Amino acid sequence: MSSKSESIVAKVFEAGQELFVQFLGLSIAQQVSIVILVPFIYNIVWQLLYSMRKDRVPLVFYWIPWVGSAVTYGMKPYEFFEECRQKYGDIFAFVLLGKVMTVYLGPKGHEFILNAKLADVSAEAAYTHLTTPVFGKGVIYDCPNSRLMDQKKFVKGALTTDSFRKYVPLIAEEVQKYFLTSKNFSIGEKDHGIINVMVTQPEMTIFTASRSLLGSEMRDKLDTGFAYLYSDLDKGFTPLNFVFSHLPLDNYRKRDHAQQTISATYLSLIKKRRENNDIKDRDLIDTLMKTSTYKDGVKMTDQEIANLLIGVLMGGQHTSAATSAWFILHLAERPDIQEELYQEQMRVLDNGKKELTFDLLQEMPLLNQTIKETLRLHHPLHSLFRKVMKDMPVPNTSFVVPKGHHVLVSPGYCHLQDKYFPNAEKFNPHRWDNDAASSYASGEQVDYGFGSISKGVSSPYLPFGGGRHRCIGEHFAYMQLGTILSNFIRTLTWKYADDSATVPTPDFQSMVTLPLAPAEIAWKLRK
């Protein structure tokens, strides 16, 4: 250092010391207001300077450092996005609990983020704090992307048409058993009652998913004390866990205990099947025991298989439970559509003479369209995130999203725009009358290692995402939800318990968008 700069440093230091002495001489009230004011003013000046950069996307103004727009975004993300779009256009950024989120709304945003290059963005860096303590190590977002692509391929081995043909009767049996034995249904003894769909649908989802994907032993465990562990695990899977992944609090301890106990239980079933050489084609456990060697010859450990089972079940649990809760609630105010669905059931199942099968499900377009419309109105995941790993220029703009920021894509926002879906706020399964398939399979295809999917992701309708992180559970979800809805329609009719009630507003603060209480319906047994 030159003597000149040394003397500057010394002067600044002296001035600093002097300021500090003056600060100590102030009253407590004055000190407190300075401690609060300095970061506050710094924050505003920083935003002013930032807003002058031509290479940065417009930043939504915020008053409170670090917190940023967390409250408005967290309460009503779609309204927040819409207000921002009107002010800034489709591309803008906001601060969320210390992170800068760049949002790109609309089909071009879907393409920019979901089809970003592997080297540019990372899902694991965005999600691992939330998912790894819940799923366990070595899988999903606790491994390199190439491992995840292989894991998705392994899992898809249990999500084939042949497996679905086995699952449909098992799922139908679970739903009927639930109608008979759960307290508020008990349809053997009662012919009407009231249910809270936020209680019944998560239960029905875990029972049916466990019976089909994990087999009867794991399903039967849910009738014992085991079920509380899933609920403890769930409570550790909340948006708060994104920000604080480990805290010395009771629910974190319970989460970790549940992860260990559940994975140990799966592990012991895996070991038992291996010892007895009892590996068939029953469920996902069999599938993974047969096929879980990565492309480079490395084998997944049994512990990793157990963790992957937790991850896959978790991926399907909240999404499917929320979707079935929402379609029950929408249909509660649409007896006309319940009746149409019933007619479809009677036509395809020959007035109830045929048992429901996977193949017959494919002949029920209105059933599909009801699920499809529900997923349009209630995308379970309002925001998908990636962490930016390399500066990303935004095509056709002067903007660069810098390394270290996050990108946020919201297909669910497009789902609600009149521009793409006339009368978008209205529940209307018939808007899909010529288009009952769950998603668009048109156009060029691409394979990231887990089967071919649509290359383009600029559709305004993307309930299952797109690109290398696209959902592999789509067909399972349609099969599971279709079987549940078919059984509801053939067994019951329903309306709101309270005659003046309408479809509840969404709660965006949990992991998936859920109906706010009261989510109760009054059911009646069909004659």
Ligand X SMILES: *[C@@H]1O[C@H](CO)[C@@H](O)[C@H](O)[C@H]1NC(C)=O
Which residues line the annotated binding site for heme?
A: 471
362 binds ligand X (CB under 6 A): yes
348 binds ligand X (CB under 6 A): no
From the list ligand X, ligand HEM, none, which binds 184 (C-beta under 5 to 8 Å, kind-based)?
Answer: ligand X
Tell me which residue has its CB nearest to ligand HEM.
473
If the CB atoms of residues 43 and 145 are measured against ligand HEM, the closer one turns out to be 145
Residues 414-453 that bind ligand X (CB under 6 A): 436-438
Q: What is the CA radius of gyration of the chain?
A: 26
DSSP string, 292-336: -B-TTSPBPPHHHHHHHHHHHHHHHHHHHHHHHHHHHHHHHT-HH
Q: Which of 78, 266, 326, 464 binds ligand HEM (CB under 6 A)?
A: 464
Residues 183-222 that bind ligand X (CB under 6 A): 184, 194-196, 199-200
472 binds ligand HEM (CB under 6 A): yes
Strand partners for 514: 507
Strand partners for 59: 93
Instruction: Pick the stretch among 51-59, 62-70, 123-131, 357-365 that binds ligand X (CB under 6 A).
Output: 357-365
From the list ligand X, ligand HEM, none, which binds 465 (C-beta under 5 to 8 Å, kind-based)?
Answer: ligand HEM
> Nearest CA to 166 among 219, 213, 207?
213
**HEC assignment per residue over 487-509:** HHHHHEEEEECCCCCCCCCEECC
* Shortest reach from residue 475's CB to ligand X, in Å: 5
396 binds ligand X (CB under 6 A): yes
* Shortest reach from residue 319's CB to ligand HEM, in Å: 3
* Shortest reach from residue 457's CB to ligand X, in Å: 12
Q: Which of 473, 482, 506, 515 binds ligand HEM (CB under 6 A)?
A: 473
If the CB atoms of residues 168 and 269 are measured against ligand X, the closer one turns out to be 168
Tokens of 406: 């996050």
Instruction: Pick the stretch among 117-125, 285-293, 314-322, 362-370 that binds ligand X (CB under 6 A).
Output: 362-370
Residues 100-119 that bind ligand X (CB under 6 A): 108
In angstroms, rounded to a whole number, what is the distance separating the alpha carbons of residues 191 and 140? 45
Maximum C-alpha span of the chain = 97
Which residues, other chains included, contact 10 with Cβ-Cβ below 8 Å and sequence gap of 6+?
none
Instruction: Pick the stretch among 23-31, 221-229, 295-303, 467-475 that binds ligand HEM (CB under 6 A).
Output: 467-475
88 contacts 61 by C-beta, under 8 angstroms: no
381 binds ligand HEM (CB under 6 A): yes
If the CB atoms of residues 341 and 511 are measured against ligand HEM, the closer one turns out to be 511
* Shortest reach from residue 234's CB to ligand X, in Å: 16
The string over 133-166, giving b where at least 16 C-beta atoms fall within 10 Å of a residue's C-beta and e elsewhere, is: bbbbebbbbbbebebbbbbbbbbbbbbeeebbee
Tokens of 402: 């810098």
Applying CB under 6 A, the site for ligand X has a residue count of 19
Site string for ligand X, 68-87 (x = CB under 6 A): --------------------
Instruction: Pick the stretch among 151-159, 358-366, 401-409, 446-454 that binds ligand X (CB under 6 A).
Output: 358-366
In angstroms, rounded to a whole number, what is the distance separating the alpha carbons of residues 485 and 342? 10
From the list ligand X, ligand HEM, none, which binds 329 (C-beta under 5 to 8 Å, kind-based)?
Answer: none
466 binds ligand X (CB under 6 A): no
Which residues, other chains included, contact 75 with Cβ-Cβ below 8 Å and sequence gap of 6+?
508, 509
Distant-in-sequence contacts of 395-398, Cβ < 8 A, 24+ apart? 395/108, 395/112, 397/57, 397/91, 398/54, 398/55
Applying CB under 6 A, the site for ligand HEM has a residue count of 22
In angstroms, rounded to a whole number, what is the distance separating the alpha carbons of residues 349 and 339? 15
From the list ligand HEM, ligand X, none, which binds 102 (C-beta under 5 to 8 Å, kind-based)?
Answer: none
202 binds ligand HEM (CB under 6 A): no
Strand partners for 301: none
Strand partners for 454: 445
> Nearest CA to 440 among 73, 107, 127?
107
How far is the CA of 302 from the CAs of 63, 209, 233, 245, in angstroms?
A: 50, 21, 20, 25
> Where would I find the beta strands (DSSP E) of 128-270?
192-196
In angstroms, rounded to a whole number, what is the distance separating the alpha carbons of residues 413 and 379? 9
469 binds ligand HEM (CB under 6 A): yes
Q: Which of 4, 25, 395, 418 binds ligand X (CB under 6 A)?
A: 395
156 binds ligand HEM (CB under 6 A): no
If the CB atoms of residues 412 and 504 are measured against ligand HEM, the closer one turns out to be 412
Residues 108-127 that bind ligand HEM (CB under 6 A): 123
The contact set with ligand X (CB under 6 A) reads: 108, 184, 194-196, 199-200, 362-365, 368, 395-396, 436-438, 475, 478
The contact set with ligand HEM (CB under 6 A) reads: 123, 148, 152, 312, 315-316, 319-320, 323, 375, 380-381, 384, 463-465, 469, 471-473, 476-477
